[in-house]
Amino acid sequence: MKYSERDLIRYYTTKDRINKRKDRIKMQQSYCRANMKESDAILTPAQRKEIRKYWEKISFAYDYCEDWCEMYTAKTGRYSPYYIPNELHYYFVENGSINFEYLRAFTDKNYLSSLFWDIKQPVTVLKRIRGLYYLNDFTPIAEQQAVALLMENSMAGFVMKPSINSWGGRSIQFIHNTTLTERQAKEMLQQQGNNYIVQKLLKQNAALNAIHSESVNTMRIITILLDGEVNVLSACLRMGVGKSEVDNFSQGGVGCGIDSDGRLKQVGFDRWGNRVDCHPSGFHFEDCVIPNFDRVLATVKKVAIRVPQFGVASWDFALDDEGDPVLIEYNVSQGGIDIHQYNNGPLYGDKTDRIIERTFKNYCFEDTTLPYNYNVFSDHITVKTGSKDMTRITVEPRHHGRPVTRIGEKAFEGAALTEIVLPSSVQYIDYCAFYNCVNLKSVTLPSGLVTIGRSAFNGCRRLTRVTIPTGTETIGTRAFMGINGLTVAVPATVSAIADNAFEDCTGLTLCGQAGSYAEEYAAAHHIPFIKK
């Protein structure tokens, strides 16, 4: 069979998306394996069996990589079958929890003061948005005033950082104990690009300053929104090392888990999962109790519920010299979960079952054949988008070991079909599935059919006879609209037919058993009825 250019484009475009998804997963798994040594292969056969048994329930969508469990077990000395692979969190849980249309705007640091107006944040010196300068209240200022503000604050100190697309502490510039000239200040403003924020340096709480004074040491707290409630999954303290002024893992920082009472755990970890028994400065982690940690958690929940578009988010809070929580920033999408699992164990903890069940309850992924694309769910297949150019299509009864139970909305709308054969497994023909298939002459309806949806065959004007199989229960609104000379055999199992199911059908005849609902319907709508 010769396939049309449109079919080939649809097929190979879909396959390309599938391969890219697989490549992203492989990339994360490669990161895991690069972080392992031969000595890390420590899982017992019984542990591997336990892992496979637990994660088998989502195998239709994701093949759990045991390497992650092995890596975390080896690094931390704590075995659990519930360690979360990066790719599972990033590409499944986050993708199902985050509305990415809001991402760039709602995480722009220049607008955090508007989103979280009542939450303490570092004092803003100025903002630059698309090349324009503003004060914190968005009062526009000229470049010369911006230069003067940098010069005025250079001795006390400030930090300049990109307001968008910043991660890992990159492109952050610190100025303190310096007298800037006008020329130097102007150059700084120009070198940072068109979108950044300038803030005064924060004087951090003595308890955190004692660990590493060169950096602002922040609490990284990850939250997830479940049934309208913010849940804190994990909290860690990130600390700079040596002369570093940032506390990021990627810049050599270390992290340590925080217990519910604010006390740090006995050991921490670096970005590679190496155990750190105390801070390189000699500070013992367990000697630190973060003041007002309960207030920090309460504040995190307060801000997280304000942005429900981001059902999963990582929040960075500092603690100032007055003991108040200070929001530094928050990260959405691939914010890094290794720090949490090294320090606090499996990320989802006692919420693992709940999160996994919610994520995969209605999850599907797309695959393709040349006649049509389809969505793979945990227990069934839905035909999604069919060929517009093929004249005869037979829908397969199964894909990926699952039955095809649904012809989806607008799946074959406007197609050139003259004949369609549906397998007995199909139960639902959805809205406009074959709408305006003007050449369709023959349709084999499946024996398992339950519902013919709204406008399913609307405009299929060449149909002359349709036999609805026994077991079908419902015929929807305008299901067979605009078809002349049509004869429809309706079984006794049909108990609901929309008043306008056959709107604008001249020469319509219904056939069925005497005393059936179909006979009553025909009489009520003045449609000729032939008793079998």
- CA distances (Å), origin 252, targets 244, 256, 270, 274: 8, 14, 7, 12
**Beta strands of 14-131 (E only): which ranges?**
124-129
Does the model's pTM come out above 0.75?
A: yes
Cross-strand partners of 198: 126, 160
Q: Quick check: helix, strand or coil at residue 530?
A: strand
- CA distances (Å), origin 154, targets 38, 127, 157, 318: 51, 16, 5, 22
pLDDT for 36 equals 82
pLDDT for 192 equals 82
CA distance 81 to 238: 26
CA distance 279 to 221: 20
Tokens (6 digits) for 160:
């300049």
pLDDT for 164 equals 87
Contacts of 451 (CB under 8 A, 6+ apart): 427, 428, 429, 472, 473, 474, 476
pLDDT for 42 equals 87
- CA distances (Å), origin 70, targets 37, 132, 133: 10, 50, 50
pLDDT for 167 equals 65
pLDDT for 169 equals 59
- All residue ranges of the chain with pLDDT < 70 are 1, 166-170
CA distance 527 to 508: 7
CA distance 85 to 348: 11
CA distance 51 to 54: 5
Beta-carbon neighbour count of residue 201 at 10 Å? 17
Contacts of 255 (CB under 8 A, 6+ apart): 220, 236, 237, 238, 239, 249, 268, 269, 270, 339, 342, 343
